Structure 1
């Protein structure tokens, strides 16, 4: 029997039937590419998230620094690629600076941005939602949060696309490799200059807050600070724009929910949670085993690269009733779309807030959203799953 290839066109177009087959017959097994291990069931995924002593994030620099890159990637120093105790120290500092009050202070800016983008969309009626709404909305929010130069919006979007393409670049594609190296140079120089500027003159932004922040007399090093800022930028842009895109795609496919949510706005948070379950922005995350271990009745060797298939876990029949049905009224919800335990995403509240504000604006201003494509092409990376483009037409209220 041939191994499942996670990058095959059929799997990328609709992975969920393949995930269901894995959960039934091979919940922990090897797949292509390269014989990586996958974990498909909810409980096993949660177990791996919790067991940071065996399932390491720090061992996965090969994801951010593939051999062909031949240089250090500052993102490798971020907390998402750290294990306790270093992760715990960095997470505590980030948590002191990036609070619920911080996110709340961004809401007015997010609302104004969403309103302005909706004005532009309604004027044109037909747009490509990802590049013309989702990415600009989240980039502008992150620029406001971090203290970035908002005029560099297109650069930030390009940086994010390049970083998330790292694992999919063939080692013989020298032109693309050169482009990505240049992107990493640009990102690093920009953040180094930003941190140096804030050390000279503090401002009302997250960079300044993180420079001030101490926990048990410990502060982030400059390398850690730059890595965390880049992580917030690229991961925050990719995952939240994906959440908004999946939300709009679902509304286009299920127009009855626009009427329902307008009539019952109290359902909006549960609608967003069901989008997060049904089409999670974090589709898979990687770990490296530090020792031989057993998971789901299967022995995993030392130094095994393991993909925790969050998108499969959130369709697990043992956890969710009728999991392939989109149902915002279901009672069972999960935090798994944003990770679990020590690695629960620090930006989860910001992503949910952005999605809520955008959804409220769309419901208030748009009668219908219609998909203008017979088929969608999907991203090839494992970490996130999103259409490459989402052409829509909006019908005003």
Structure 2
């Protein structure tokens, strides 16, 4: 029997029927590319997330720093590629970025940015939502939170695209590898200059806070700080953009929900939670087995590359009733969209806040959102599943409707 190829065009376009078949017949099995193992059932995913002694994150550093890259990649030193106890020290460092207080102080900035972008969208009537809205909204938020220069927006997008492509570049593609090496050089120099600038003159941002609070005996180096900044930019931009994009794509395909949200704004938090289940921003995450183990009744060898298919687990019919139906009113919303256990995503509050603010401002201004493409092109990245572009056209609400809808307060 031919192995499923996760990057085949029909699988990328709609992987969920393929995942359902795997859950039924081969819930833990090998697939292409490269014969990696996949885990597809909710309970098996939970078991793997909890067992950090066997399912190692640090073992997957080769994905961000393959030998043919021929240089250090600071992303490989970040907390998502660390196991306990090292992971705990790095996570403590990152906690400062995503505290409720830090995100709360950022909300008004996110709202004013979303309002400006939404006004521009309504004025133009059509746009690529990813390029013209989602990426710009998240870059603005990250720049404000961390202390990056927001005028470098296009550079940040290129950096992120290059960094997430490292694992998929062929060793023979020398020109592309040289481009990515140049990107890493450029990013690292920017981060070093940023640290030096904040040492000379502190600002009210995360970088300054990290430098002020770091103790000589805590073992945290400048390289650790740079790895954290790489992670915050790349992961923060990629996952939040994916969440906003799927949120708008769902509204375009299910226009009745735009009307419901306008009439019943208290449904907004539950709508966002269902988007997270239905199209999780982190579609898969990868581990390396440190020893032979059993999962889902299957023996996995030591040193096996294992993809935990979160997107499949959140459609598991043994955990969710009618899982392929988008239903914000469902009662079984508990999910793995932000991971589980030691690696539960620190950016969860920021992502939910950004989604809520963006949804508020779009629903306030748009009576209809229409998809302007017969077929979407999808990215070729294992960790996220997102269209490359999302061309949309919007119909404005009446001025009265735009004024009347209140901003929604979080309920999570």
Query: TM-score of the superposition, structure 1-length normalised?
Result: 0.98
Task: Find the residue that maps to 1:176 and give its secondary structure.
Answer: helix
Q: Find the counterpart in structure 1 of residue 295 from structure 2.
A: 295
Query: CA shift at 1:123, angstroms?
Result: 1.2
Q: CA deviation at 1:219?
A: 5.5
State the Cα distance separating 1:145 from its structure 2 match: 0.3
Quote the residue 1:362 is aligned against.
Answer: 362
How far is the alpha carbon of 1:334 from its aligned partner? 2.5
Structure 2 partner of 1:204: 204
CA deviations over 1:30-49 (Å, ceiling 9, x no partner): 11111101000011111111
List aligned pairs for 1:192-231, cutoff 5 A.
192-214=192-214, 218=218, 220-231=220-231
- Asked if 1 retains the 8 angstrom alpha-carbon contact of 2:282 and 2:383, the reply is yes
Give the total of aligned pairs: 397
Distance 2:393 2:282 in 1: 27
Q: Runs (4+) of structure 1 moved beyond 4 Å?
A: 214-217
Shift of 1:307: 0.2
Corresponding residue SS for 1:336: coil
Give the distance between the partners of 1:18 and 1:392, measured in 2 at CA.
28
1:169 aligned partner: 169
TM-score relative to the length of structure 2: 0.94
Secondary structure at the residue paired with 1:234? helix
Equivalent residue, structure 2, for 1:254: 254
- The answer (yes or no) to whether the contact 1:211–1:220 under 8 Å persists in 2 is no
1:346 and 1:4 map into 2 onto residues whose CA distance is: 32
CA distance in 1, matches of 2:211, 2:78: 16
Distance 1:169 1:97, change over 3 A: closer
After TM superposition, the structure 1 stretch with the greater mean CA deviation from structure 2, 310-319 or 172-181, is 172-181
Cα offsets for 1:281-326 (capped at 9, x unmatched):
1000000011111111111111100000000000001110000000
Measured against aligned partners, the alpha-carbon deviations of 1:103-148 in whole angstroms (never above 9, x if no partner) come to 0000011011001111111111110110010000000100000000
* Equivalent in the alignment of 2:339: 339
- For structure 2, list consecutive stretches of 5 or more residues without a partner in the other structure: 398-412
**Structure-to-structure mapping, 1:1-397, within 5 angstroms:** 1-214=1-214, 218=218, 220-397=220-397
Conserved? CA contact 2:98–2:350, under 8 Å: no
Q: Distance in 2 between matches of 1:336 and 1:102?
A: 24
| 1:43 to 1:215, Cα distance in 2 relative to 1, 3 A | farther
What is the DSSP-based 3-state SS (H/G/I as helix, E as strand, rest coil) of the residue aligned with 2:19? helix
Secondary structure at 1:306 match in 2: strand
How far, CA to CA, are the matches of 2:214 and 2:51 in structure 1?
Answer: 28
- Output the aligned Cα RMSD: 1.3
| Distance change (3 Å), C-alpha of 1:259 and 1:159 | same
Would you say the 8 A contact 2:98–2:349 is kept in 1? no
Q: 2:97–2:146: 8 Å Cα contact kept in structure 1?
A: no
